[in-house]
Amino acid sequence: IVEHFVTIQLFRLKKFNKWEVQVMNKQERSTITDLGKCNFRDVCSYFQQKSEERKARSKEEKQEEKKKNEALIEEFGFCDWDGHREKIGNFRLEPPGLFRGRGNHPKMGKLKKRIIPENITINCSKNSKIPKPPAGHKWKEVRHDNAVTWLVSWTENVQNQNKYIMLNPSSRVKGEKDWQKYEVARNLKSKVDRIREDYMRDLKSDEMMVRQRAVALYFIDKLALRAGNEKEDGESADTVGCCSLRCEHIKLHKHLDGKDFIVEFDFLGKDSIRYYNKVPVLKQVFKNLVLFTENKEGPDDLFDRLNTSTLNKYLNSLMDGLTAKVFRTYNASITLLNQLLELTDPDDENVASKILSYNRANRAVAVLCNHQRAAPKNFSEQMGRMNEKIEKKQRDIQDAKQETKSAKSDYKHNKSEAKRKAYEGKKKKVERLQEQLIKLEVQATDKEENKEIALGTSKLNYLDPRITVAWCKKYSVPIEKCYNKTQRDKFAWAIAMVDDTYVF
Ligand SMILES: *[C@@H]1O[C@H](CO)[C@@H](O)[C@H](O)[C@H]1NC(C)=O
Ligand SMILES: *[C@@H]1O[C@H](CO)[C@@H](O)[C@H](O)[C@H]1NC(C)=O
Ligand SMILES: *[C@@H]1O[C@H](CO)[C@@H](O)[C@H](O)[C@H]1NC(C)=O
Ligand SMILES: *[C@@H]1O[C@H](CO)[C@@H](O)[C@H](O)[C@H]1NC(C)=O
Ligand SMILES: *[C@@H]1O[C@H](CO)[C@@H](O)[C@H](O)[C@H]1NC(C)=O
Ligand SMILES: *[C@@H]1O[C@H](CO)[C@@H](O)[C@H](O)[C@H]1NC(C)=O
Ligand SMILES: *[C@@H]1O[C@H](CO)[C@@H](O)[C@H](O)[C@H]1NC(C)=O
């Protein structure tokens, strides 16, 4: 049973989803009928002991382990790709465990099985050295498909999704793909006026399908909604995107809070994140929505003449490579750029306030993309600690000011060089402390504003990194302040090629 308690995650799950039926044999099933009555103390202490043992390792043991790890990476962490040695991304498989999923995922608690060589498909060139499976095992398949970019694939058993081992984000192919993605988004910039004209006209089309398509496009453009949820959570999680919206997901208010034509959205989007928003829309859009919901019940499709694949086909006919995601990327990037222009004070030399401006711009994008998170568990403690630091700094400043005052009066009474120096020194100290205070206050503001917003997703997936890199160069902000190691690896291509005048 220990293998299935890979982490203590079980104790955090509220729902067990019948994993026990999958794992237990007949006799165990008849003995253990209610997990709530089980005592897991031994399992828990087993893991605590393991963790203590790990912490107590000697320096030599740690060194030894590090060496072994490096040897592993050397052996399995690289491949030969078009004559280049490239780093492989996630070449370690996850051990078996319990599936968590996001939100209240219906498959939460299901058992993720151990992956064995018989589950694995290998992709490599015909004439290459094909990796050997562990003794006594066989690969499921070895194929030579030069139209895909994965090296290894398998199907996981919880959601039946394909999983892949690919190259590291810093590799040439990945960098090129990333670059292409942002080039497509930049390309949209020159096409978007025409696309908007078209859907504005189509809002009044005689053909119902065209009208629905126009409203869906309007949502995708103005609200950065996703197109749909074709392959994401399978049929299990009840999450929707633009095309799969149902009548029950919107409420129409002709007037609300002093505004006209308000649509109130409330649905679960990707990863079961709730999308809730009240937005004023064009009168014609509102009229259409009234029309689309006429004679329908809550569970009926809002866009009954539309599906994700027809919408995506249409998008692609408007521009090569255009998808709903490109609208998100385009809007996210252009919003970041505009916000940076608006929020950066070129005269403010303070790096901390520059970062605050950057994070605020990034937050505007995250809000647009609906990248929320639950406030961290000990958020108020963390905030409390920061405020204590600020108060201490304020007291230090008061003290230092007092000292400056007496040093000044000393100097007044005795104009010696030593007294002058002492006075100057105290003044400097006050300035230094005040700078530190500003820095702390800025960090606290940043933290407070970031309470329920996740910046990582938009940074990694929607924001053209060249905007960030150029901004950093222009204002002499070290790139490490905006990107951590993972992000710097992924955006190596942008960090290498950009000067400080990038225009999205
Ligand atoms: C891996 O292969 C074995 C044997 O063919 C099979 O029983 C198991 O379900 C497979 N695992 C997954 C995750 O598909
Ligand atoms: C899959 O194999 C083909 C060669 O058969 C190769 O061109 C392609 O790049 C491979 N994909 C990877 C990730 O190696
Ligand atoms: C981006 O989205 C916002 C918010 O929905 C919208 O108001 C704005 O017009 C969009 N901007 C661009 C340039 O598409
Ligand atoms: C989407 O709609 C088109 C046209 O109505 C239809 O041919 C297609 O089968 C639909 N696709 C799906 C996945 O429902
Ligand atoms: C609380 O926050 C600190 C960071 O200040 C973090 O290291 C710690 O793991 C958090 N504790 C819990 C229980 O989340
Ligand atoms: C002024 O201060 C200096 C240095 O602290 C000291 O050596 C000197 O005696 C003082 N002069 C008077 C007049 O107090
Ligand atoms: C970098 O930030 C991302 C997103 O905020 C996070 O998921 C990742 O673990 C971080 N990586 C490192 C090396 O800190």
**What percent of the chain lies above the pLDDT cut of 70?**
93
Which bound ligand lies closest to the C-alpha atom of 423? 6
What's the rounded Cα separation, in Å, for the pair 345 and 413?
A: 43
Residues 6+ apart with CB under 8 A from 297: 247
From the CB of 419, is ligand 3 less than 6 Å away? no
Residue 10 pLDDT: 46
Model confidence at 143: pLDDT above 90 = yes
Query: 121 pairs with which residues across the strands?
Result: 141, 153
> Tens digits of per-residue pLDDT, 316-328?
999 999 988 899 8
From the CB of 307, is ligand 4 less than 6 Å away? yes
Model confidence at 217: pLDDT above 80 = yes
**Quick one: tokens of 396?**
């230090």
Please give the single-letter amino acid code of residue 97.
Answer: G
Question: Which one of 318, 339, 366 terminates a domain?
Answer: 318
Q: Do 224 and 164 lie in a common domain? A: no
Q: Do 27 and 107 lie in a common domain? A: no
| Ligand 1 center to 115 CA (angstroms) | 7
From the CB of 378, is ligand 6 less than 6 Å away? no
From the CB of 418, is ligand 6 less than 6 Å away? yes
Query: Which one of 87, 126, 141, 146 would you pick to mutate in the ligand 2 pocket, going by the greatest count of ligand atoms within 8 A of its CB?
Result: 146
Q: How confident is the model at residue 103 (pLDDT cuts 50, 70, 90)?
A: low
DSSP H or E run through 490: helix 485-490
From the CB of 309, is ligand 4 less than 6 Å away? yes
- Measuring from atom 6 of ligand 3, which residue has the nearest CA? 222
Model confidence at 271: pLDDT above 80 = no
Residue 11 pLDDT: 41
Q: Do 199 and 144 lie in a common domain? A: no
Q: Do 205 and 115 lie in a common domain? A: no
What pTM, to 2 d.p., does this model score? 0.73
> Cβ < 6 Å from ligand 5: which residues?
377-378, 382
| Ligand 5 center to 386 CA (angstroms) | 13
What's the rounded Cα separation, in Å, for the pair 15 and 110?
A: 10
Rg for the chain, CA atoms, rounded: 29
Q: Do 204 and 288 lie in a common domain? A: yes
Give the residue ranges of DSSP H helices in 108-207.
172-202
| Ligand 1 center to 501 CA (angstroms) | 53
From the CB of 113, is ligand 1 less than 6 Å away? yes
Q: Which of the residues are catalytic?
A: 462
CATH code for the domain in which residue 283 is found: 3.90.15.10
Which bound ligand lies closest to the C-alpha atom of 305? 4
> Cβ < 6 Å from ligand 2: which residues?
123-126, 144-146, 148-151
Q: Do 200 and 297 lie in a common domain? A: yes
Residue 234 pLDDT: 46
Pick the more confident residue, 27 or 211: 211
Q: What is the SS3 assignment for 348?
A: coil
Residues 6+ apart with CB under 8 A from 476: none
**Quick one: tokens of 3?**
């293998």
Residue 31 pLDDT: 80
Residue 293 lies in a domain: yes
- Measuring from atom 8 of ligand 2, which residue has the nearest CA? 146
Q: Do 225 and 296 lie in a common domain? A: yes
144 is in which domain, residue-wise?
Answer: 76-168
Query: Which one of 486, 489, 491 would you pick to mutate in the ligand 7 pocket, going by the greatest count of ligand atoms within 8 A of its CB?
Result: 486
Which bound ligand lies closest to the C-alpha atom of 422? 6
Residue 343 lies in a domain: no
Residue 66 lies in a domain: no
Residue 464 lies in a domain: no
- Measuring from atom 9 of ligand 3, which residue has the nearest CA? 222
| Mean pLDDT computed over 328-336 | 92
- Measuring from atom 9 of ligand 7, which residue has the nearest CA? 486
What's the rounded Cα separation, in Å, for the pair 140 and 133?
A: 10
CATH code for the domain in which residue 154 is found: 2.170.11.10
Residue 264 lies in a domain: yes
Query: Which one of 335, 339, 341, 342 would you pick to mutate in the ligand 3 pocket, going by the greatest count of ligand atoms within 8 A of its CB?
Result: 335
Domain count, the chain: 4
Residues 6+ apart with CB under 8 A from 219: 225, 242
Residue 148 lies in a domain: yes
Q: How confident is the model at residue 12 (pLDDT cuts 50, 70, 90)?
A: very low
| Mean pLDDT computed over 363-390 | 87
Residue 4 pLDDT: 47
Query: Which one of 378, 379, 381, 389 would you pick to mutate in the ligand 5 pocket, going by the greatest count of ligand atoms within 8 A of its CB?
Result: 378
Q: How confident is the model at residue 472 (pLDDT cuts 50, 70, 90)?
A: very high
Residues 6+ apart with CB under 8 A from 180: none
Q: Show the beta-strand stretches assigned E in 180-288.
A: 250-256, 259-268, 274-280
Residue 415 lies in a domain: yes
From the CB of 414, is ligand 6 less than 6 Å away? yes
Model confidence at 6: pLDDT above 50 = no
Q: Do 140 and 197 lie in a common domain? A: no
From the CB of 310, is ligand 4 less than 6 Å away? yes
Q: How confident is the model at residue 1 (pLDDT cuts 50, 70, 90)?
A: very low
Residue 22 pLDDT: 63
Which bound ligand lies closest to the C-alpha atom of 359? 7
Residue 8 pLDDT: 39
Residue 123 pLDDT: 94
Q: Do 264 and 155 lie in a common domain? A: no
Q: Do 132 and 88 lie in a common domain? A: yes
Question: Which one of 107, 136, 168 terminates a domain?
Answer: 168
- Number of the ligand 6 atom closest to the C-alpha atom of 422: 5
> Tens digits of per-residue pLDDT, 145-163?
888 889 999 999 988 999 9
Model confidence at 118: pLDDT above 70 = yes
Residue 1 lies in a domain: yes
Q: Do 196 and 309 lie in a common domain? A: yes
Q: Do 49 and 116 lie in a common domain? A: no
| Ligand 4 center to 250 CA (angstroms) | 23
Model confidence at 268: pLDDT above 90 = no
